[in-house]
Each structure stands twice: as C-alpha cells, then as structure tokens.
C-alpha cells in the first residue's frame, strides 16, 4: 500500500541570471540589521560580496558579518553565530554559500531565537523550534538542497557526533539560485555536490512504498537528468544549461516533493555522518564511497526496485539475466558513473583506514528504521570494510 502524506513547502525560489535583482525588495520585509553569513571568502573573489554590500546599503541596512563557516559546520561555530545575533540584535540572516553555510545559519537561527542550548534541545532531543530569526539563502554551491528544506546538519567535535534534524518551520524564507555563481567551484566541489544530490534521491527511491508511484517516477527522471548533465558539467563547467539543470535537480531532490508516500532510507547518510565525525571527509565523496557497497549489501531485500533502477536509470539490458544480475549491474553502473565524473569511490582514498575507528563508527551510527534492511553494527562494519 502507498502511504498517506501531507505536502507543504514554504520557500520562495528566485532562479536564473537575474535572480539577485529580487534581493532588495525581499529585504524590505525585515528589520534594519542584516547578518551576512558566508564561508572562507570565495564570495569576495568572484565579486559577489561587493554586490551584496551595495544592495544592503541601497536598502538602508546595517550589516553584521559572520564569516569562516567551514564544511561540516561545528557546534562551536554555531555558538559563535548565536552570540553575534544576540549581541547585535540581528533581524535577518542571509546565508551565502553551499549547504554547510545554510545548515549553520539554520542552527544559528533557531538557537538565537529560543532561550535553550541549541545542541541538546534541537539536535539531541528533537524539539521543534518555537521561533526563528528569519533567513534567506544565496546559493554558490549545489548539492545539499538546503536552500528549500528545513534540514540542518551540525558536527559536535567534543562528542564526535555529526547529526541532522529536519524541521519544516526552518525552511528559508527565500532562496536566490543563479547557476553562474557556481562557476568558480573546483571540479572536486562540483562533483561532490553531484554525488550528494544523487544520494539524496536514492535514499528516498530505495525505500517503501514500492508500488507504482509518482514519487519514484520523478526520482528516476531526476537521476537520469543528473547523470546526463554531470558529464556535460565535467567536460565544460561553464555550460549554463547543464549547470542550471544540476542546480534545480539538487533542489528538487530534497525539497520533500519526491518524499511523498515514501519512508526514506538515509542509512548511507547516517554512516557518512559518523565517518565525518571522526575524519574530515567531504560529504559527497564519502557518500559516493559508501553507496555501492551499501546497496550491494541490501539489494536482496528490495530486489524489484534495484532491477527497476538498473533498467530505467542506467539502461541495463535485462535479456537473459536474472533479477539479481540485473540489479548488480545497475549498482556497478552507479559506481562507474561516480568514477567517470571524478568522485572518490573508496574510503581509503579519503584517509579512512583505521580498523579500530571503523568499528567505533559502526557502533555509533544511527540505524535507519525505514530501510529495506534494518542494519546491525556488525552489518555496518562489513559495509565499511567493503567500502575501503
């Protein structure tokens, strides 16, 4: 049977080359003090920082800067942002960057608006935020889909836990998506984002319900579009049409649309999150390294879907083959795709090699209840070793 669902999405998207022209009007809706949140300064290199400062001045806004947000944002960085918001009475936050910056800002937004310890209250005890500081996003790296969802992933280095939460009321007020702002990304960053969005779709696709449904058909279309355009982007990173498709694929992959009537798996993400808690691993590359081994491990428990994936997404010829052979060929094609676009497909290439730490990672992973097979810690240990 298919599951009942409720669908709602709050975020307004401005997409295309003129998207930034809408920022000044959006800012009129908020108070006088804006926090500009960004990473390590790439927005200055591409001239975007100067454009934003000019828009803020024209809108009559005071600007507080929150810079240096790192990949895999830490709880300590979130606390720094919370303090800045409170000290400066910030009315609105603009997150400029990729998923890490946006996720950090979401944590800052809920943490500064509510008189609680953000980590314990929201990330450990899963209390829905009662209030938030309004925020918008301007995307310069695609992959996470954080620009149109309520998800936020933060790493607490003190306790070696990387975890995510999803709160519908933490969706951005608006997001500005201009593919041209992604041109300055390195190939490594671009490919990592592509692997991330592909994984987001597979995590929802390889889960019940498995009856013929719109969500799975949309997922297959998105995966085929990613594969086709990824090759174009690798060959010509400034192909506007391909970068546009990839950018919109990433947003649709995780804006809850294809999650309708699906439980979702998310075990690959759970495993990668704990790897990143122990190692400084780029998220998308970690997902690419784990996914083939994970899906080979669980394939027998959802064989009909893996057969469908192989045929519909990777055009595997089923003639004369068993369902298992077809499914395995599809996973092989997935791994080949990751390799062909330049993704890292082995954990050892990411510096993950210590057997004792692999065991700790396995033993501290959250185990998904929505997967085809509910794993044990021993299962995860096998998957990790097969990913080396």
Q: Alpha-carbon dihedral of residues 192, 252, 214, 198, nearest 10 degrees? A: 0
Q: Are both 177 and 195 inside the same structural domain?
A: no
Check whether residue 66 and residue 155 sit in a common domain.
Answer: yes
Identify whether residues 149 and 19 lie together within a single domain: yes
Domain span at 367? 188-386
| CATH code for the domain of 87 | 3.40.50.1970
Query: Residue 2: its pLDDT value, please?
Result: 66
Residue 6 inside a domain? The answer is no
Same domain, 178 and 192: no
Picking from 148, 167, 182, the residue at the C-terminal end of a domain is 182
Provide CB contacts within 8 A for 39, sequence distance 6+: 67, 68, 69, 70, 97, 98, 100, 101
The Cβ-side half-sphere exposure at 305, using a 13 Å CA radius, reads 25
- Which residue, of 182, 204, 234, is where some domain finishes? 182
Q: Has residue 240 been placed in a domain?
A: yes
User: Is 261 inside any structural domain?
Assistant: yes
* Ranges of the chain whose pLDDT falls below 50: none
Contact assessment for residue 12 and residue 174, using Cβ atoms and an 8 Å cutoff: yes
pLDDT at 1: 59
**Strand ranges for 42-197 from DSSP E:** 62-66, 92-97, 135-139, 151-156, 161-166, 174-177
Q: Which residues of 38-47 are buried (b: 16+ CB within 10 A; e: fewer)?
A: bbeebbeeee
Residues 117 and 205 in one domain: no
Distance CA 101, CA 164 (A): 14
Are 128 and 245 found together in one domain? no
Name which of 98, 97, 96, 125 is nearest 110 in CA terms.
Answer: 125
> Distance of alpha carbon 158 from its chain centroid, rounded?
23
CA 110 to chain CA mean position, Å: 19
Question: Does 291 lie in the same domain as 177?
Answer: no
Q: Do residues 294 and 320 both lie within one domain?
A: yes
pLDDT, position 13: 96
Are residues 107 and 29 located together in one domain of the fold? yes
Calculate the dihedral angle through the C-alpha atoms of 236, 145, 189, 219, rounding to the nearest 10 degrees: -60
Domain assignment present for residue 7? The answer is no
pTM over 0.85: yes
Look at residues 115, 150, 182 and tell me which one is the last residue of a structural domain: 182
Q: Is residue 344 part of a domain?
A: yes
Structure tokens at 359: 């065991």
Domain presence at residue 207: yes
Instruction: Give the chain's domain count.
Output: 2
- The pLDDT, as a whole number, for residue 333 is 98
What are the CA-CA distances from residue 236 to residues 75, 224, 232 (Å)? 37, 19, 6
Work out whether strand 151-156 and strand 161-166 pair parallel, antiparallel, or are unpaired: antiparallel
Coil, helix or strand for 47?
coil
Q: What share of the chain is helix, strand, coil (3-state, %, to 5)?
A: 55, 10, 35
Q: Is 169 found in the same domain as 34?
A: yes
Q: Is residue 381 situated within a structural domain? A: yes
CB 57 within 8 A of CB 100: no
State phi, psi for 155 to the nearest 5 degrees: -105, 125
Largest distance between two CA atoms of the chain: 69
For position 282, which CATH number holds?
1.20.1090.10
d(CA 80, CA 75): 9
Same domain, 226 and 174: no
Q: Encode pLDDT of 129-178 as tens digits.
A: 999 999 999 999 999 999 999 999 999 999 988 899 999 999 999 999 99
Per the DSSP assignment, residues forming a β-bridge with 273 are none
C-alpha gyration radius of the chain: 21
Residue 5: inside a domain: no
237 touches 179 (CB < 8 A)? no
Write out the two tokens for 193.
């984002």
Shared-domain flag, residues 46 and 129: yes
> Could you tell me the two tokens for 19?
């998207």
**How far out from the chain centre does Cα 320 lie?**
38
């Amino acid at each position: 049977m298919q599951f009942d669902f409720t669908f709602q999405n709050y975020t307004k998207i401005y997409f295309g080359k003129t998207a930034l022209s809408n920022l000044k009007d959006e800012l009129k809706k908020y108070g006088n003090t804006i926090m500009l949140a960004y990473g390590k300064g790439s927005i200055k290199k591409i001239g975007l920082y100067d454009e934003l400062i000019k828009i803020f001045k024209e809108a009559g806004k005071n600007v507080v800067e929150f810079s240096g947000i790192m990949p895999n944002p830490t709880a300590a960085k979130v606390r720094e942002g919370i303090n800045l918001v409170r000290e400066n009475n910030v009315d609105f936050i603009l997150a400029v960057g990729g998923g890490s910056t946006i996720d950090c800002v979401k944590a800052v937004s809920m943490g500064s608006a509510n008189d609680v310890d953000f980590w314990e209250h929201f990330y450990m005890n899963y209390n829905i935020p009662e209030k938030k500081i309004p925020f918008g996003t301007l995307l310069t790296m695609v992959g996470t889909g954080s620009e149109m969802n309520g998800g936020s992933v933060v790493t607490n280095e003190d306790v070696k836990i990387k975890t995510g939460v999803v709160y519908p009321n933490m969706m951005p007020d608006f997001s500005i998506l201009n593919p041209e702002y992604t041109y300055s990304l390195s190939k490594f960053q671009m490919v990592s984002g592509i692997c991330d969005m592909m994984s987001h779709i597979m995590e929802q696709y390889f889960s019940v319900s498995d009856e013929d449904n719109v969500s799975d058909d949309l997922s297959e279309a998105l995966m085929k579009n990613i594969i086709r355009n990824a090759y174009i982007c690798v060959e010509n990173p400034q192909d506007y049409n391909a970068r546009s498709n990839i950018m919109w694929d990433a947003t649709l992959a995780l804006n809850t649309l294809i999650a309708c009537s699906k439980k979702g798996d998310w075990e690959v993400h759970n495993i990668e999150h704990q790897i990143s808690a122990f190692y400084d691993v780029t998220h998308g590359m970690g997902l690419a390294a784990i996914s083939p081994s994970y899906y080979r491990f669980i394939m027998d428990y959802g064989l009909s879907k893996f057969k469908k994936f192989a045929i519909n997404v990777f055009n595997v010829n089923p003639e004369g083959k068993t369902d298992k052979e077809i499914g395995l060929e599809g996973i092989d094609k997935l791994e080949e795709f990751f390799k062909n676009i330049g993704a890292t497909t082995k954990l050892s290439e990411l510096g993950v090699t210590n057997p004792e730490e692999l065991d700790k990672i396995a033993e501290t992973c959250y185990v998904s209840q929505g997967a085809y097979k509910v794993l044990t810690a021993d299962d995860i240990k096998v998957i990790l070793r097969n990913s080396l």
